[in-house]
């Protein structure tokens, strides 16, 4: 079938709106009519990486309606409303232990995972498109996914809000609810007030008596953090972050989340922890953070990575959507909709700090 897709033919050039050919679903695949797709930092990282294998079709926060399923698919049916998330194999030790974000085949399945016979799912003018990004490549009117990364949701769910539960919101909320698990009396410091950090803040607000500090450089995002209920909002340009957090918390944060991936920020987050506390990082830029392992050992501090919020998406995404439906996780405040043809405007607005989570609509 033919559909429109946002292709990247050159990392430095704008995305192009093109007509592509999409193959019919194989036995284990599902065809999804995409209604919304969030833009996540990982899309831009992979757009920038390398000039080979173009054009590339990104998008890994898709939401839509199942149009067709392969002969072997039993858990999803045409007409189902779905949120697409990351793929997992379902059989490795981590998957069987309920930790699909740490699937041992994750890279092979999600980093432009190819079909067993290497045939392209998407072509443009007869040329293969690099597809299979997070098992969806959902910057398109239709996408081929699989049952293992499609979460069936209530048909009344707004796809533009639901889409980013597939990655960004799940990552932030899961880092708090699944990994850090702060309890009453905790002090949680969140570094970065983007989509992941803001979702983390909203998740923390669902736990009684957890106090929050958001550290963010952009004025608009600091204002948003305050509106979303952060107890303190700090501008690193005008405060000694470590000293200020130590003072506010009476000795250091009990929990911290770094969403920036900046080495010096992770080091600050670590330094501003109290004894025995944990900082979770959801990403990390190139290099080695300036952190003394002696401090880690002798103060009993922990640094741990957290992928996709440690989520088991089949249960966690419906749980988060339920919280949202009850007004307890207002992530719709983070979403700004753009027609899919306006992707460059969406990216510019995000770069300028005017929007937190741009979502493309079809």
Task: Count the residues of the shown chain that bind Zn ion, applying the rule CB under 5 A.
Answer: 8
* Residue from the set 92, 128, 220, 263 that interacts with Zn ion by CB under 5 A: 92
Q: CB of 361: closest distance to Zn ion in angstroms?
A: 18
SS (H, E, C) the chain: CEEEEEEECCCCCCCEEEEEEECCCCCCEEEEEEEEEECCHHHHHHHHCCCCCCCEECCCCEEEEEEEECCCCCCCCCCCEEEECCCCCCCCHHHHCCCHHHCCCHHHHHCCCCCCCCCCCEEECCEECECCHHHCCCCECEEEEEHHHEEEECCCCCHHHHHHHHCHHHHHHHHHHHHHCCCCCCEEEEECCCHHHHHHHHHHCCCCCCEEEEECCCHHHHHHHHHCCCCEEECCCCCCHHHHHHHHHCCCEEEEEECCCCHHHHHHHHHCEEEEEEEEECCCCCCCCCCCHHHHHHCCCEEEECCHHHCCHHHHHHHHHHHHHCCCCCHHHHEEEEEHHHHHHHHHHHHCCCCCEEEEEC
Q: Does 63 bind Zn ion (CB under 5 A)?
A: no
Q: How much is the CA Rg of the chain, to the nearest whole Å?
A: 20
* Residue from the set 22, 31, 39, 40 that interacts with Zn ion by CB under 5 A: 40
CA dist 258 and 179 (Å) reads 13
Q: Does 95 bind Zn ion (CB under 5 A)?
A: yes
Closer to Zn ion by CB, 44 or 207: give it: 44
Closer to Zn ion by CB, 268 or 308: give it: 308
* Residue from the set 3, 42, 157, 170 that interacts with Zn ion by CB under 5 A: 42
Q: CB of 339: closest distance to Zn ion in angstroms?
A: 21
Binding segment for Zn ion (CB under 5 A), chosen from 89-97, 107-115, 173-181, 310-318, is 89-97
Closer to Zn ion by CB, 95 or 145: give it: 95
Q: Does 89 bind Zn ion (CB under 5 A)?
A: yes
Site for Zn ion, residues 153 to 192, rule: CB under 5 A? 167
Closer to Zn ion by CB, 95 or 189: give it: 95
Q: CB of 193: closest distance to Zn ion in angstroms?
A: 17
Q: CB of 102: closest distance to Zn ion in angstroms?
A: 8
Q: Does 296 bind Zn ion (CB under 5 A)?
A: no
Closer to Zn ion by CB, 44 or 263: give it: 44
Binding segment for Zn ion (CB under 5 A), chosen from 24-32, 65-73, 75-83, 97-105, is 97-105
Site for Zn ion, residues 100 to 129, rule: CB under 5 A? 103
Q: Does 67 bind Zn ion (CB under 5 A)?
A: no
Site for Zn ion, residues 196 to 255, rule: CB under 5 A? none
Q: Which residues bind Zn ion (CB under 5 A)?
A: 40, 42, 88-89, 92, 95, 103, 167
């Amino acid at each position: 079938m033919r559909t429109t897709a946002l292709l990247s033919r050159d990392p430095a050039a704008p995305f192009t709106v093109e007509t592509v050919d999409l193959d019919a679903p194989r036995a284990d695949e599902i065809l999804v009519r995409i209604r919304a797709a969030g833009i996540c930092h990982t899309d831009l990282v992979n757009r920038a990486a390398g000039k080979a294998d173009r054009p590339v079709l990104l998008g890994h926060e898709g939401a839509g309606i199942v149009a067709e399923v392969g002969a072997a698919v039993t858990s999803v049916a045409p007409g189902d409303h779905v949120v697409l998330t990351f793929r997992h194999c379902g059989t490795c030790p981590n998957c069987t232990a309920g930790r699909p974000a740490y699937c041992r085949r994750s890279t092979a399945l999600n980093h432009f995972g190819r079909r067993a016979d290497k045939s392209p799912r998407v072509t443009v003018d007869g040329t293969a498109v690099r597809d299979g990004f997070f098992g969806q490549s959902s910057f398109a009117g239709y996408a081929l996914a699989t049952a293992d990364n499609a979460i069936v949701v209530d048909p009344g769910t707004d796809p533009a809000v639901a889409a980013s539960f597939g990655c960004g919101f799940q990552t932030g909320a899961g880092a708090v609810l699944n990994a850090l698990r702060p309890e009453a009396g905790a002090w949680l410091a969140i570094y970065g007030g983007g989509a992941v950090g803001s979702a983390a803040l909203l998740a923390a607000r669902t736990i009684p008596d957890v106090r929050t500090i958001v550290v963010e450089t952009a004025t608009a995002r600091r204002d948003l953090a305050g509106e979303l209920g952060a107890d303190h909002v700090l501008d690193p340009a005008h405060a000694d972050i470590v000293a200020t957090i130590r003072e506010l918390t009476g000795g250091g944060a009990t929990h911290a989340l770094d969403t920036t991936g900046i080495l010096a920020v992770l080091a600050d987050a670590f330094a501003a922890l109290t004894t025995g506390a944990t900082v979770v990082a959801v990403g990390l830029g190139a290099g080695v953070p300036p952190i003394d392992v002696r401090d880690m050992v002798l103060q009993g501090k922990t640094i741990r990575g957290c992928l996709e919020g440690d989520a088991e998406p089949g249960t966690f995404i419906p749980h988060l959507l339920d919280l949202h439906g009850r007004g307890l996780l207002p992530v719709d405040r983070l979403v700004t909709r753009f027609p899919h043809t306006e992707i460059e405007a969406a990216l510019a607005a995000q770069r300028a700090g005017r929007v937190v989570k741009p979502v493309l609509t079809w």
